[in-house]
Amino acid sequence: MEYWVHNLDPFLIRFWGEVGIRWYGLAYILGFTVAWWLVRRWSDQGRLPVSRQGVADFVLYVAIAMIAGGRLGYCLFYYQTAEHGAFVAFLRDPLVFFRMWEGGMASHGGIAGLFIGTWLYCRMRKVPFMVMGDTVAATAGIGVALGRLANFINGELWGRTTDVSWAVIFPAAGPEPRHPSQLYAMGLEGLLMLAVALTVHHFHRRPGLTGGAAVITYSLGRFFGEFFRQPDPGYSLYFGWMSKGQALTIPLFMVALSLLIYAWRRGPQPQAYLPPEPQAKTTQKTASHGKR
């Protein structure tokens, strides 16, 4: 059986050497742009406690925190050298964090970054954290799906060897046909999470419910999809079968399940989603109180 040999260029435009416009970077830009458009639309519809002007700041906070968290997660859990394993290699070369052109992002770190960025924004702007966290969760699947598609274009994070008819030969991995596990992950971790999160976000006003449902879906999709992905070189499997990605997903699942139960038991909180009061009305009320 003949298999397709991966020959896609990771660059949309290559200026010289390894400098150019990469599909991976465009995936991030497109993901944040679509998320910004959706969040702004919800704000215009009066479904968020953030004004249209505040949406841009919110997305900026979250974008920076997610990229930083994803990079730090990679440096802590996956970066290694010939002399040192993960974590120790980062301690001996912490500047690798800033050498982002070398590649390397970890989705678990990105999720932690999303959490921290959302928390910082909500603390500074005094808006409900769980409501804004649900907003992030409702749009995160876009970025995950596009990121996994970019992984496939880059010819990285390939799958295990197989003889299925849709297998792909990744030259960097050898001559054997492999599962296009990046595309599996695009569906399981990205598109499925997006569908679940948008559905829950549309029908429920329970702060934390969308976030819990989204992360549970991601965790299950990631755990299942890892069985088709080639384990990262240099890392032993836990119990002889569990990858590091699967191990990191377990605590994520437990936290999300706890959040889901808490949000459901707490019940609907529609007042938490009310839009901010217009500045003109606020000023008018303040003036009238002063006259009294």
**pLDDT (tens digit, 9 = 90+) per residue, 109-164?**
999 999 999 999 999 999 999 999 999 999 999 999 999 999 999 999 999 999 99
Neighbours of 201 (CB within 10 A): 22
For CA atoms 106, 112, 115, 117, give the dihedral sign: negative
Distance, in Å, from the CA atom of 144 to the CA atom of 166, rounded to the nearest integer, reads 22
- pLDDT, one tens digit per residue, over 219-262 is 999 999 999 999 987 777 889 899 989 999 999 999 999 999 99
Residue 136, judged by CB atoms within 10 A of its CB (0-12, 13-18, 19+), counts as buried
Residue 81: its pLDDT value, please?
A: 86
> What's the whole-model pTM score?
0.87
Residue 96 CB partners (closer than 8 Å, separation 6+)? 75, 79, 89, 90, 102
| Tokens 């032993």, located at residue | 236
Residue 1 CB partners (closer than 8 Å, separation 6+)? 163, 165
Residue 282: its pLDDT value, please?
A: 44
Q: Which span out of 15-24, 104-113, 119-128 was modeled with the highest average pLDDT?
A: 119-128
Q: Where are the domains of the chain?
A: 20-286
Residue 236: its pLDDT value, please?
A: 75
The DSSP H or E segment spanning 16 is strand 11-16
Nearest Cα to Cα of residue 114 among 32, 44, 221: 32
Distance, in Å, from the CA atom of 73 to the CA atom of 86, rounded to the nearest integer, reads 11
